């Protein structure tokens, strides 16, 4: 009598799982998340902000700091008041829907903080003043 052949695959053949397409997908996702990530911007100097109650956490795209020494810091650089408009315009070209936050030191001259705020408002940029909780 003849033996019937099994429809199942013979045991001597090893099946391998091709991982290349899965690795491609993982790397594409990694690149996507890196490109779309929002990085935290720092003004370049630590300031002592006044205390206030906050309703929500803000994530501005332009961060301006005014120190007690009447220095204006933007992107880790010190600028004079007459240079701030050009710097803000360059940053706004990178992000047309830019929002700004001013970090004023407790000892900072209020006139400088208000001048920066007025300048940003003239440029139609939403402005908030940063405080401590």
Segment 13-63, tens digit of pLDDT: 677 788 888 899 999 999 988 888 776 667 777 777 666 555 555 677 888
Total number of domains in the chain: 1
- Whether residue 82 lies inside any domain: the answer is yes
The domain in which residue 123 lies consists of: 62-130
What is the pLDDT confidence band of residue 108, given thresholds at 50, 70 and 90? confident
CATH number at residue 100: 3.30.420.270
Segment 71-81, tens digit of pLDDT: 999 888 899 98
- Whether residue 104 lies inside any domain: the answer is yes
- Whether residue 31 lies inside any domain: the answer is no
Mean pLDDT estimate for the chain: 80
- Whether residue 47 lies inside any domain: the answer is no
CA distance 17 to 32: 26
CA distance 7 to 23: 33
Is the separation of the CB atoms in 64 and 100 below 8 Å? Answer: yes
**In the block, which residue shows the tokens 């911007």?**
41
What is the pLDDT confidence band of residue 10, given thresholds at 50, 70 and 90? low
pLDDT for position 25 = 92
CA distance 118 to 116: 5
pLDDT > 70: what percent of the chain? 77
What is the pLDDT confidence band of residue 132, given thresholds at 50, 70 and 90? low
pLDDT > 90: what percent of the chain? 14
pLDDT for position 60 = 78
């Amino acid at each position: 009598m003849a033996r019937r052949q099994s429809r199942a695959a013979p045991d001597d053949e090893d099946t391998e799982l091709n991982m290349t397409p899965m690795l491609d997908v993982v790397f594409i996702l990694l690149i996507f998340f890196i490109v779309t990530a929002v990085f935290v911007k720092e003004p370049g100097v630590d300031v002592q902000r006044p205390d206030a109650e906050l309703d929500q956490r803000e994530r501005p795209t332009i961060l301006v700091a005014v120190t007690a020494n009447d220095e204006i810091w933007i992107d880790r650089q010190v600028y004079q008041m007459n240079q701030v408009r050009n710097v803000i315009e360059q940053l706004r070209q990178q992000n047309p829907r830019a929002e700004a936050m001013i970090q004023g030191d407790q000892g900072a001259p209020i006139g400088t903080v208000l001048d920066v705020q007025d300048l940003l408002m003239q440029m139609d940029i939403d402005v908030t003043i940063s405080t401590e909780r």
